[in-house]
Chains A and B, each alone.
Chain A
Amino acid sequence: EVQLVQSGAEVKKPGESLKISCKGSGYSFTSYWIGWVRQMPGKGLEWMGIIYPGDSDTRYSPSFQGQVTISADKSISTAYLQWSSLKASDTAMYYCARSPGAAWGYNYWGQGTLVTVSS
C-alpha cells in the first residue's frame, strides 16, 4: 500500500528555521516525483514545487523560489521542505503528494503538516 506519512504539527517563532518531512512507503521512492502544496487558513491549494528523489531534480514555483528549499534523502525514502527564517505568513497546512511525472497530477497525498508561526 502506497503511503506518504508527514511529520507532526509545528509551532515556531518568526525568524526560526524549520524542516518538515514526508516519508514514502509501499512503492519505489526514487521512481516518482514528490510535490509540496501549501494551504493557508481558509484558502485554496498552492503548488510550491516538486522533486525527483532519483536524481534530486527540483523545480520551484516562482512564488516560492528562494523562500523554501525542497530536498530528499532517498536512502530513507523521505522528502523535506525547509525554511531558514520563518514568517508569520508561512502559517499554513503543508501537504506532500506523489506524482508519476514532473507535469502530471498527484495520485497519493500525505496527511498534511500544520505549521504555525507566531510570536
Chain B
Amino acid sequence: NFMLTQPHSVSESPGKTVTISCTGSSGSIASNYVQWYQQRPGSAPTTVIYEDNQRPSGVPDRFSGSIDSSSNSASLTISGLKTEDEADYYCQSYDSSNQGVFGGGTKLTVL
C-alpha cells in the first residue's frame, strides 16, 4: 500500500523558515499531484498548496510547495514564520489506483 510519511513534529522561531517533508513509500510521487492542508486546533482543514506548488487565493506567498523526484518526496516550505502558522499540516496525494492517501500529519510549533 502506498503511504506518505511526514515527520511527527517540527518547531522553529518566528521569522525563520521551516520545511516539512512528505515521502512516498513506493512508485513516483511525481505521478500524482500533492496537496498540503493546514488544520488549526478545533478547525476544519484548509488548503495551502494544491497541484504540487499552487497557492489558493488568500494564501500568502510565504507558503510554497515542491517535489523532489530523486528522494520521492514533496516539501512544504513556510518562510517568515508567524505564530498564526502554528498548526497541523497534512500532505495528500493518490496511489496508482487513484485512491486518496494522507500523510500522518506534522505538528508545527512556532516558538
Contact = CB atoms under 8 A, between A and B. Distances in A.
B15 interface: no
Given A95-B44, A106-B47, A107-B47, A47 B101 contact: yes
Contacts of A47: 92, 99-102
A107 to B, nearest CB: 5
Nearest to A104: B33
A92 to B, nearest CB: 13
B47 A45 contact: no
Nearest to B1: A62
Chain B residues touching A, range: 20 to 34
Nearest to B39: A45
Interface stretch (A7-15, A23-31, A75-83, A109-117): A109-117
B98 A103 contact: yes
Interface residues of A, number: 23
Interface of B: 32-35, 37, 39, 44-47, 50-51, 56, 88, 90, 92, 94, 98-105
25 contacts: A35-B100, A37-B102, A44-B90, A44-B105, A45-B37, A45-B45, A45-B102, A46-B102, A47-B99, A47-B102, A50-B100, A61-B100, A102-B98, A103-B32, A104-B33, A104-B50, A105-B35, A105-B92, A106-B92, A107-B47, A107-B56, A108-B47, A109-B44, A109-B46, A110-B44
Interface of A: 35, 37, 44-47, 50, 59, 61-62, 95, 97, 102-112
